[in-house]
Amino acid sequence: MRDRTILFTALMAITIFFSCGNISDKKIRIAYANWAEGIAVTYLAKEILSEQGYRTELLNADIAPIFTSLARGKTDVFMDSWMPVTHADYFRKYDGKLEILGQIYDSARIGLVVPEYVPIHTIEELGAHTRRFSGEIVGIDAGTGIMKCTEKAIPEYGLDYRLMISSGPAMTALLKKAIDKKEWIVVTGWTPHWMFDRFRLRVLEDSRNVYGEAEQIHSIARKGFSKEHPFAAALLGNIHLSDTEINSLMRAIEETSGTETRAIRQWMDGHRDLIDSWIPDKEEYSR
């Protein structure tokens, strides 16, 4: 009888230990789209959370399903939300169902991009060279902010162009192919992006401000995430990268012949002081 009592007590202790706010026992679901900076920051967040004892699941999707999933509580975190222009429609649509964790980067831009050897500097000039560009603007995923802005820019500037739907990786592949042949091409582009390190590119001047001013990239979460995961929310909210840091992070992924995880770990080894500065004081949080 005494042995049974001891066994019962031990089992109860184990049950209590694993049920009393041990947040690292819960999985954190991070959504990401196929955008260079988003992939880089998402895998960075995953590895940092793993070091802190969290289990993570990465979910790849287009931007519209990502915001819908966050609003419905099916996904926890998104590390690549652009404000105040690119993703403003989604924040209005899901008002009250999302929360901002922090600002990752503060000098993001979107627009139309051409190789430097193409002798035009403004969006207006595209109209005079429709045939050279085959009447086509190479885009990315449907429903993204940059695609919506481009759909507005085409009639706003009186362009006779078709907007091609593709993806971030497909866009950069077509850009590289055109540059290798010195062909004319115009794509939807944004900074930060490794393609500006790889190729000599020019963002066309947007005199009518269709694409807006500089934006900020935020980490966001479903409503209630910060209350349920205060330590993780604070950690993710502390992640902030300079131009040099985010460019080196994206370049590490692009140039490393292995998985994203391998590239991120190598980058983390060279930026340990920066990463340590993001880790909250564990004593301030009930985990």
Query: pLDDT for 84-121, tens place per residue?
Result: 988 999 999 999 999 999 999 999 999 999 999 999 99
In this prediction, residue 6 carries a pLDDT of 42
Written as six digits, the tokens of 50 are 């793993």
Q: Is the pLDDT of residue 2 over 90?
A: no
Instruction: Output the CA torsion sign for 182, 183, 184, 189.
Output: negative
Phi, psi of 246, deg, nearest 5: -70, -35
- What's the CATH code of the domain at 170? 3.40.190.100
* pLDDT of 178 strictly over 50: yes
Split at pLDDT 50, 70, 90, the class of 43 is very high
- Tell me, what's the pLDDT at 19? 37
Q: Are residues 121 and 101 in the same domain?
A: no
The long-range contacts involving 224-231, CB below 8 angstroms and separated by at least 24 positions, are: 224/73, 224/99, 225/76, 225/77, 225/99, 225/101, 226/99, 226/101, 228/23, 228/26, 229/23, 229/26, 229/28, 229/76, 230/23, 230/285, 230/286, 231/23, 231/52, 231/280, 231/282, 231/285, 231/287
pLDDT for the residue 10: 41
pLDDT at residue number 286: 57
- For the purposes of burial, counting CB atoms within 10 Å of the CB of 7, is it exposed (0-12), middle (13-18) or buried (19 or more)? exposed
CA count, 13 A, side-chain hemisphere, 37: 30
Q: Could you tell me if 194 and 188 are in contact, meaning their C-beta atoms sit under 8 angstroms apart?
A: no
**What's the start-to-end Cα distance of the chain, in Å?**
35
Confidence category of residue 25, pLDDT binned at 50, 70, 90: low
Residues 126 and 149 occupy one common structural domain: yes
CATH number of the domain within which 102 lies? 3.40.190.10
pLDDT for 165 equals 97
Domain that holds residue 166: 109-203
223 in the same domain as 194: no
